[in-house]
Amino acid sequence: MDAAGVDDCGNVFESPNELWERAADAQWYIKAVDYWDQQEASVNGVLGGYGHLSVTDVRDSRAFLRKAFGAALAKAEAGQRQLAALDCGAGVGRVTEQLLLQHFHEVDLVEPSAHLIDEARRRLGNRGNSGTPRGHRAVNFYQQGLEKHHPVAGRYDVIWLQWAALYLTDADLVAFLQRSAAALKDDGMLFVKENVTDKGFIVDNSDASVTRSHQYYVQLFDRAGLRMMHTALQKDFPKGLFKVRMYALKSAS
């Protein structure tokens, strides 16, 4: 990957390697968690003041999930299969509550910010969740960064990674994608939903994030040994925001 990038201070990076050579991994992750520890533990907080976009976001996520994984969802809805999912970078459990619990019998959540995962546990843990199908529940709440998390091998039908890949270094993202592929059942699928820029990459130093281009992600998926099954752009987000792209991935082997 040799595309150039910039940060919000005007610094130019000739390649991603130059960025990661300058960034100390430990400090990179500490800055990101510190940022999210200061945000409100609510849907509006985790969406950066755009809480009103959650309905639109989930609408397109659900359509994409059905397109890529519809046969398995239909079997589950017919009572012929039990499904489990992992919500990565789960925040307060917005995606779990509004999307994943609607289709999966068990959902695990992983999130590095203590006060966000505590709010998710408060809202979703140890009780039936109104508005979700009977018997569907959030099971495990892991307070951990994805760079350290090892999903349980063979447990999941779907692993959903939304607005979380941008907080991982290239090496840690590739490694996490590989661990995720090993955690999927034979016909399982990995979903990534992420901000994308038109070319190269853009670094935001305030929260230690990197917005990559579509081509950048394609190369990282290839490095992780994944095959892209479907991709689509999120619709109806306001102008001025980054484009958001969805990917459905399976192991290439």
Q: Using one digit for the tens of pLDDT, what is the confidence trace for 35-80?
A: 999 999 999 989 889 999 999 999 999 999 999 999 999 999 999 9
86/68 Cα distance (integer angstroms):
17
pLDDT, residue 230, reads 98
Residue 24 has pLDDT above 80, yes or no: no
Query: CB of 12 within 8 A of CB of 209?
Result: no
Query: CB of 100 within 8 A of CB of 87?
Result: yes
Mean pLDDT of 203-215: 96
Residue 210 has pLDDT above 80, yes or no: yes
pLDDT, residue 40, reads 94
Alpha-helical regions (H) of the chain: 16-22, 25-37, 43-46, 54-77, 94-98, 114-124, 170-183, 214-223
pLDDT, residue 129, reads 61
7/13 Cα distance (integer angstroms):
8
State both tokens at 251: 């192991």
Instruction: Name which of 70, 123, 104 is nearest 230 in CA terms.
Output: 70
110/146 Cα distance (integer angstroms):
8
State both tokens at 152: 């349980």
Give residue 187's Cα distance to chain centre: 20
Q: Using one digit for the tens of pLDDT, what is the confidence trace for 93-139?
A: 999 999 999 999 999 999 999 999 999 999 998 755 668 899 999 99
pLDDT, residue 21, reads 87
Residue 243 has pLDDT above 70, yes or no: yes
All residues at 6 or more sequence positions from 218 whose CB lies less than 8 Å from its CB, including other chains: 228
Q: What percent of the chain has pLDDT over 90?
A: 89
57/51 Cα distance (integer angstroms):
10
Instruction: Tell me, letter by letter, the H, E, C secondary structure of 176-214.
Output: HHHHHHHHEEEEEEEEEEEEEECCCEEEECCCCEEEEEH
Q: Using one digit for the tens of pLDDT, what is the confidence trace for 126-178?
A: 755 668 899 999 999 999 999 999 999 999 999 999 999 999 999 999 999 99
Judging by DSSP bridges, how do beta strands 209-213 and 184-197 pair with one another? parallel
Mean pLDDT score of the chain: 94
Confidence band (pLDDT; 50, 70, 90) for 2? low
Instruction: Name which of 139, 143, 86 is nearest 111 in CA terms.
Output: 143
